[in-house]
Amino acid sequence: MTKFAPRSRKVRVLATLGPASSSPEMIRKLFMVGADAFRINMSHGAHADKIPLVKAIRALEKELNRPTTILFDLQGPKLRVGKFAEGKVLLETGQTFILDRDKAPGDADRVELPHKEIFAALEVGARLLLDDGKLVLRVSGVEPDRIETLVEVGGPLSNSKGLNVPDVVVPMAALTEKDRADLAFAVEQGADWIALSFVQRPEDVAEARRLIGGKASVLAKIEKPTAVDRLEEILELADAVMVARGDLGVELPPERVPLVQKHIVATARRMGRPVVVATQMLESMIVSPSPTRAEVSDVATAIYDGADAIMLSAESAAGAWPEESVSMMDRIAIAVENDPGYKARLHFTETFPDPTTADALSEAAKEIAETISASAIICFTNSGASARRIARDRPSVPMLVLTPNEATARRVGLLWGAHAVITKDVSNFEEMVAKSKRMAMRHGLAGSGDKIIIMAGVPFGTPGSTNMLHVQRLTGKELEGFDD
């Protein structure tokens, strides 16, 4: 069995798998050049196509003895217009255009809108965005089966193009029948994280949590202005959040997206939730072996802001350069984290501990690590809650997460700075210290003479009991005669 050393960087890289990266050989290559976690997109392909991906990741996990994170991303409700008699029409700016419930093929004056929920939700003055925002309609009249609009930005419109409704909350469940089937499949496949698309309100997250039943962690994708407005409520129920800039960039003016991204990242960090920044990060690498300078700067900004993870979509899933895209993400992250000014930028967002013993100890661990120049923070956890608290404070040293729980080890793969190891639980203080020292040396995080900080709970093995912080110096003899 190969042992894989911890990454030298703290931000995680999440790579989407697809036609360009579906073979076990390519999945292995992506991991070796920097992918920490893998996203399986349920918007495309059949369930049978996903099973080999999960098997390949788990086989790699076993080979490298490194817990590896799998995120299943649900499609969510897709709003689309109907079909046209000629397949395509041209809408002129200033004309009137009707959306109705008539299933007859459309023309330049009208088309079917097969989503009855929208008719009840819309108000005069609301915008409708078509084809990723390329066309803009303004609602001038609403009836139970008919929406009259004025075309503010015209252009060609073809069959089944997407529709965005940015100005109102559409009373649609975040989980369609397809999503429910996909969610059940993801849980059956042992998903570590399940991402919810087009979340509008906290109730959407609550429904998913009920269906998942604790068998996976829940990540809420923020891609609608209505979700931004209720961000803190959503974060109270979600385990993590994603800045999904695709649809968010359609529904918001482009100049607002960077501001909203920073707001989401900062809010998630303050609330102790992992945050992923995604969509078009290295878009040009779908066809080019090198990114644009603007894309590199975009990735760097997300890292400076303190994102837990940065994600590749089509770049690794369907592009011509999947391995190079992951490698570029890795190199950008390493360069940023080696910047002398990185620490100050990272802590521009202040995080305040909750009035609990565990939060107080997490903050203290970060301060002590810097004061005594410790090499690592060792965190004993069963549920992963202690690891999330430590990661929120963004300590300057790596965090070694020791847990007997395989699911926990896999789920912390989206946490900033975390390296998880599945190991037997400890039963007393002496065993805790000895194991911490051995594991720190075995995984290359500390050596003879180095100091480590240990965070755990007494009684040992009791979830939610984090109440102890201990500093220990290594002698170099810790590895003798032990098998963990």
Number of Cβ within a 10 Å radius of residue 405: 16
Is residue 471 within 8 Å of 374, Cβ to Cβ? yes
**From the candidates 28, 58, 78, 80, which is the catalytic residue?**
80
SS3 for 16-62 is EECHHHCCHHHHHHHHHHCCCEEEEECCCCCHHHHHHHHHHHHHHHH
Q: What are phi and psi of 196, to 5 degrees?
A: -100, 125
DSSP one-letter string for 381-445: -SSSHHHHHHHHT--SS-EEEEES-HHHHHHGGGSTTEEEEE-----SHHHHHHHHHHHHHHTTS
**What's CA 40's distance to the chain center, in Å?**
12
Q: Tell me how far apart the alpha carbons of residues 430 and 433 are, in angstroms, rounded to a whole number.
A: 5
Going by C-alpha positions, the residue among 369, 379, 370, 439 that lies closest to residue 403 is 379
Q: What are phi and psi of 276, to 5 degrees?
A: -110, 135
**From the candidates 10, 12, 39, 230, which is the catalytic residue?**
39
Residue with tokens 């929120």: 392
Number of Cβ within a 10 Å radius of residue 283: 19
Sign of the torsion angle spanned by Cα atoms 235, 238, 241, 247: negative
**From the candidates 16, 69, 226, 279, which is the catalytic residue?**
279
* Cα dihedral 58→59→62→68 (10° resolution): -30
Token code pair at residue 301: 């900004």
Active site residue 39: yes
Residues of the chain by 3-state class (helix, strand, coil), percent to 5: 40, 25, 40
Q: Is 147 helix (H, G, I), strand (E, B) or coil?
A: strand
Going by C-alpha positions, the residue among 293, 98, 72 that lies closest to residue 189 is 72
My answer on whether omega of the bond before 398 falls inside 30° of 0, hence cis, is no
**From the candidates 12, 221, 394, 435, which is the catalytic residue?**
221
Active site residue 279: yes
Q: Tell me how far apart the alpha carbons of residues 49 and 51 are, in angstroms, rounded to a whole number.
A: 6
Going by C-alpha positions, the residue among 365, 174, 386, 348 that lies closest to residue 265 is 348
Is residue 192 within 8 Å of 160, Cβ to Cβ? no
Q: Tell me how far apart the alpha carbons of residues 313 and 4 are, in angstroms, rounded to a whole number.
A: 25
Catalytically active residues are: 39, 80, 221, 279
